[in-house]
Amino acid sequence: MVDGLLQTIPVPNDSYFEAINVQDGDSIYIREYPYRQAKISGAVLKPGSYTMAAGETINNLIEKAGGYTENAYQFGAIYLNEDAKKVNELSKEILYQDFLDNIIAASQQNIGADLTPVVRLTDELNKVEPNGRVVIDLLNNLNIDLYNIKEGDELIIPERSNVVYVYGETSTEGAVMYVDNQDVEYFVEKSGGYKKFADNESIYILHPNGESQLYRSKRNIFERSNSFNFIFSNFKEI
């Protein structure tokens, strides 16, 4: 603001700030850059990096990429965001500290107990790099219009593979072909069944869209393929 008039000053780089003569009472307003880069890859017709205007959504990004291919698996989409990455990093630190506190408490209450598996799991947790994944449902058109694109966002659309992955305390870890209307027990049996110290009260289902769920009933929660099934050890019995 100069002599009551609003002036726009181009600043292509930091050195231009030195040439600006600021006077007492001036107001300086720096606008947000109206465009940002976002990347989309996987099962879309035109994967790549796109320039997005402020206010454009994930739906707009998908449209710029020409839409989905025939084998696209929207439910398994991976949406990465820098703000979410910072939150994930903080959450990981809190969870890691909670694990350490629990290990110390367990060692004091159960002298001589073998806590090696828990210590190993805690160490692996600390090494995991936060990826900034945001749980997203691309099958809901109303929801995806609520996600405004930010600088550096990335959307990955996988292809359908029709498998369920089983890991943890089972005889054989790996992939099992997906079958409609089957529950957790079916896929565990296909993986050789539970090991001796498997804790079948601590089975977690990680769905393809990033949602996780504690399995507590016999109902079918594998409504879609590409899920991960984790069975943990029951350390109380070791």
CB atoms < 10 A from the CB of 166, how many? Answer: 25
Do 178 and 224 have their domain in common? yes
In the prediction, which pLDDT does 60 show? Answer: 93
| Residues 208-224: tens digit of each pLDDT | 877 878 876 554 444 45
Number of H helices, E strands in the chain: 5, 10
Higher pLDDT pick, 236 / 140: 140
Domain-embedded: residue 212: yes
* Sheet hosting strand 35-42, strand order edge to edge: 48-53, 35-42, 154-157, 78-80, 133-134
In the prediction, which pLDDT does 52 show? Answer: 93
Do 72 and 151 have their domain in common? yes
CATH of the domain at 136: 3.10.560.10
> What distance in Å separates the CA atoms of residue 29 and residue 207, rounded to the nearest whole number?
45
Domain-embedded: residue 6: no
Do 62 and 139 have their domain in common? yes
Do 77 and 29 have their domain in common? yes
Do 90 and 148 have their domain in common? no
Q: Which domain holds residue 91?
A: 83-127
Do 139 and 71 have their domain in common? yes
Higher pLDDT pick, 70 / 100: 70
Give the global pTM: 0.62
Place of tokens 């945001």: 134
Domain-embedded: residue 54: yes
| Residues 83-101: tens digit of each pLDDT | 887 877 777 677 767 767 7
Do 189 and 210 have their domain in common? yes
Contact 165, 171 (CB under 8 A): no
- The last residue of a domain, from among 157, 174, 195: 157
Q: How many domains does the chain have?
A: 3
Task: Flag the least confident range among 6-20, 40-54, 160-174.
Answer: 6-20
Do 92 and 167 have their domain in common? no
Do 116 and 230 have their domain in common? no
